[in-house]
Structure 1
Amino acid sequence: MTAALTTTDYKQLTSTISANVRTLKDSVPDVLAGFNAMGKAALAPGAIDAKTKELIALAIGVAARCDGCLGFHTQALVRLGATREEVHEMLGVAVYMGGGPSLMYAASTVAAFDEALAARKA
């Protein structure tokens, strides 16, 4: 397992975000229903399989420096059977496209993926 550059607990982070989103869903249900429908449609397998779509989503999360994206998409990739090698190769492309800031988030993504993988094995 790789050491994290931060002390972020991605499982706790995604749990907290999910709780806050549930609160938001009560306030603006139509907005959240629309967002959820868009996500379901965007990530549905088609010409590109679901795992590849999640790799793309995670690459964008790295480039956008979104901690929640790292947590949610690494967990999804573990569920879809992604390997460390696949995630690391995608991170190479994300760093190439995003430069130094993406490298910093790529390092955090390694920690998030390893955490999700370890949780699944536990």
Structure 2
Amino acid sequence: MSTSSYKALTAEIATNMKKLGGGIPDVMQAFGAMNKAANSSGALDHKTKELIALGIGIAARCDGCIGFHTKALVKLGVTRAEFEEMLGVAVYMGGGPSVMYAANAIAAFEEFSADAE
């Protein structure tokens, strides 16, 4: 999926993730706990972890990941130079979260189900 507005895309995915959470609450609660644990500061700070996550999202071609992690990085004060350096590493590599596409899949299920009624 390609988007011209990451603000609109992340708002749409957030809504769909709430719906997804209603159907599989244990999975989404566990995903949220994993997110919190993975992003808490330790040997690496939160900004560094978000840069890694965004690099993986870019390499996996995940528009939702790009939106959510870029928004987080801006809030964390990433500089343009830091951001661009991460982009160089992302171009070099590749990886893949699927929760964003699961959230969109629930929306597609609802759309096609409405046509079947």
Question: Which TM-score bucket, shorter chain as reference?
Answer: 0.7 to 0.9
Among candidates 4, 15, 22, match of residue 18 of structure 2 = 22
Aligned-partner Cα distance in 1 for 2:42–2:69:
19
Q: Please state how far the C-alpha of 1:7 moved relative to its aligned partner.
A: 5.0
Paired positions, count: 93
Residue 75 of structure 1 corresponds to 71
Q: Distance in 2 between matches of 1:15 and 1:86?
A: 26
The 3 A distance-change label for structure 1 pair 7 and 62 is closer
Give the 4+ runs in structure 1 shifted more than 3 A.
none
Name the SS of the counterpart of 1:47 in structure 2.
coil
Name the CA distance, whole Å, in 2 between partners of 1:7 and 1:60: 18
Deviations 1:15-59 (A, max 9, x none): 000000101111111111000000110011110000000000000
Partner of 1:103: none
Q: Which residue of 2 aligns with 1:31?
A: 27
Report the Cα distance in structure 1 between the residues aligned to 2:62 and 2:4, rounded to whole angstroms.
Answer: 12
Q: Give the superposition deviation at 1:70.
A: 0.5
Gaps spanning 5+ residues in structure 1: where? 1-5, 99-122
Match of 2:7 in 1: 11
Identity %: 63
Alignment of 1:59-98 (within 5 A): 59-98=55-94
- Which blocks of at least 5 consecutive residues in structure 2 are unaligned? 95-117
Q: Is 2:54–2:70's contact at 8 Å kept on the other side of the alignment?
A: yes
